[in-house]
Amino acid sequence: MFYLVKSNCIVVQSGGPTAVINNSLAGLIDSIEYSRFKGEVYGAIGGIQGLLEERYINLTSLKDDDKFRLRWTPGAALGTCRHKITFDEVENIINSFKKHSIHYFFYIGGNGSMYVANIINNIAIKMGYSLIVIGIPKSIDNDLLGTDHSPGYGSAAKFLATSLLDVKMDVASYKGGRRVTIIEAMGRHTGWLAAACSLATFQHDESQTFIYIPESSFYLEKCINQINESYRNKMDTFLIISEGIKNENGQIINENEIEYDSLNRPKLGGVSNYLNQVIEAETGIQTRSITPSIWQRSSILLSSKTDVEEAYEIGKAAWDYAMKEYSGVMIGMEREKDSDNNYIVVYKEKQLEEVASKEKFVPLKWYDEVKNRMTDDFISYVKPLIQGEMIVPMTNGLPKYKYVI
């Protein structure tokens, strides 16, 4: 095994942060520390860009108190970025690993990151360099294949459902208001986050809630009819919109307003504001839009304890699989039940090439396309993921966070 000779590790955080991403980092570091491994543990500062520029930080000397504080710190503590990597750059990364005696590479990220990890694994093999490559999933979008759900999703789902519930209680204060409220959830191609808002129910809810996800075509005329029907019934209307919803022709709803990022992907967001203007003009009903944006992925105070613990455990599992000399794999979660029929997960390896750049969509059998609501099967799926609360230590009334860099 590599740990019997001079050998070091490196961990990278990539893509959009989550509220619990640093728990995976802490879990990995803890597991390495408790093992027989004697090498150094490096972190790349600023994601893949940190690898390319050899901006490494030594995590071996991270104090226990600081490491513990990472567990309630949102955002990527090592820093992150979005970068379209080339094959030449991958070879440079492998050569850097050689120079620093790095034989373990851990990549915390989404499906795009798993694609990069797979390329690094394959090129290391071609170059004849001994490198164990392990992908650690994270995604608030919950769109990674190979895992029942992704660390980060449960907390973002809990934040959105709680936020909608709060807004509903506020709107309910104005009796007979008949207002329209649009809430825009993240979700480029998938509607997992918007779907989670189906949890926001309460006794005597006299409003109507409609959920629109990218997996199902959005029909503006039908939406207008639903709003008018609610208005006639003296009910407020809540529209939960995934940012990536498309019409029956497969076009993004506010396509004319879309810009593109460095990866040539459309910069989504703003569909709620667009629909706000259209709906108000078409119906004359008072309409407002709310865009939680990055709040839905950065709120640790509304995080799920289940999500926090699973993110930590999946980091630990990554090192366990590395010690068994697995490589070219992502650590996925599989849902099981214990002898008392309680929800539990187990951590199993999935081949990177089977999950890289692929997406997991909301099953349409979990979505009522007529009523634009989620089914009970989806509710059963998502409920266990939002359970429990994170106790966040405070200083002067505010959370006390920790950054590594």
Higher pLDDT, residue 380 or 2: 380
For residue range 72-111, list pLDDT tens digits in order.
999 999 999 888 899 999 999 999 999 999 999 999 999 9
Token look-up 């609501």 returns: 373
Reference 313, options 23, 109, 14, 110; nearest CA is 23
Segment 243-267 mean pLDDT: 73
The answer to whether 192 and 142 are in contact (CB under 8 A) is: yes
pLDDT at 263 over 80: no
Segment 378-388 mean pLDDT: 97
Higher pLDDT, residue 252 or 194: 194
Domains 2-152+300-357 and 154-297 share a fold: yes
pLDDT at 268 over 70: no
For residue range 135-191, list pLDDT tens digits in order.
999 999 999 999 999 999 999 999 999 999 999 999 988 877 789 999 999 988 999
Four-way CATH pick for 154-297: 3.40.50.300, 3.40.50.460, 3.40.50.11810, 3.40.47.10: 3.40.50.460
For residue range 111-125, list pLDDT tens digits in order.
999 999 999 999 999
pLDDT at 54 over 50: yes
3-state secondary structure of 133: strand
pLDDT score recorded for residue 203: 74
Segment 311-321 mean pLDDT: 98
pLDDT at 256 over 70: no
Q: What is the dihedral of CA 151, 293, 246, 218, to 10 degrees?
A: 100
pLDDT at 260 over 60: no
Residue 201: CB partners within 8 Å, gap ≥ 6?
none
Instruction: Look up residue 359 and give its two tokens.
Output: 């997406």
pLDDT band at 4 (very low <50, low <70, confident <90, very high): very low
pLDDT score recorded for residue 313: 98
CATH of domain 2-152+300-357: 3.40.50.450
pLDDT score recorded for residue 243: 92
pLDDT score recorded for residue 326: 97
* CA-based R_g, the chain, Å: 22
pLDDT score recorded for residue 262: 53
pLDDT score recorded for residue 152: 98
For residue range 196-226, list pLDDT tens digits in order.
999 998 777 889 999 999 999 999 999 999 9
**Around 237, how many Cα atoms within 13 Å sit in the side-chain half-sphere?**
30
pLDDT at 373 over 90: yes
pLDDT band at 35 (very low <50, low <70, confident <90, very high): very high
Domain boundaries, the chain: 2-152+300-357, 154-297
Euclidean distance between CA atoms 351 and 320, whole angstroms = 16
For residue range 219-253, list pLDDT tens digits in order.
999 999 999 999 999 999 999 999 999 999 988 88
Instruction: Look up residue 33 and give its two tokens.
Output: 């520390």
Residue 209: other Cβ atoms inside 10 A: 22
* Catalytic residue annotation: 141
pLDDT score recorded for residue 66: 87
Segment 21-47 mean pLDDT: 95
pLDDT at 3 over 70: no
pTM, 2 dp: 0.94
- Checking DSSP bridges between strand 259-260 and strand 266-267, what pairing results, if any? antiparallel
The answer to whether 343 and 148 are in contact (CB under 8 A) is: no
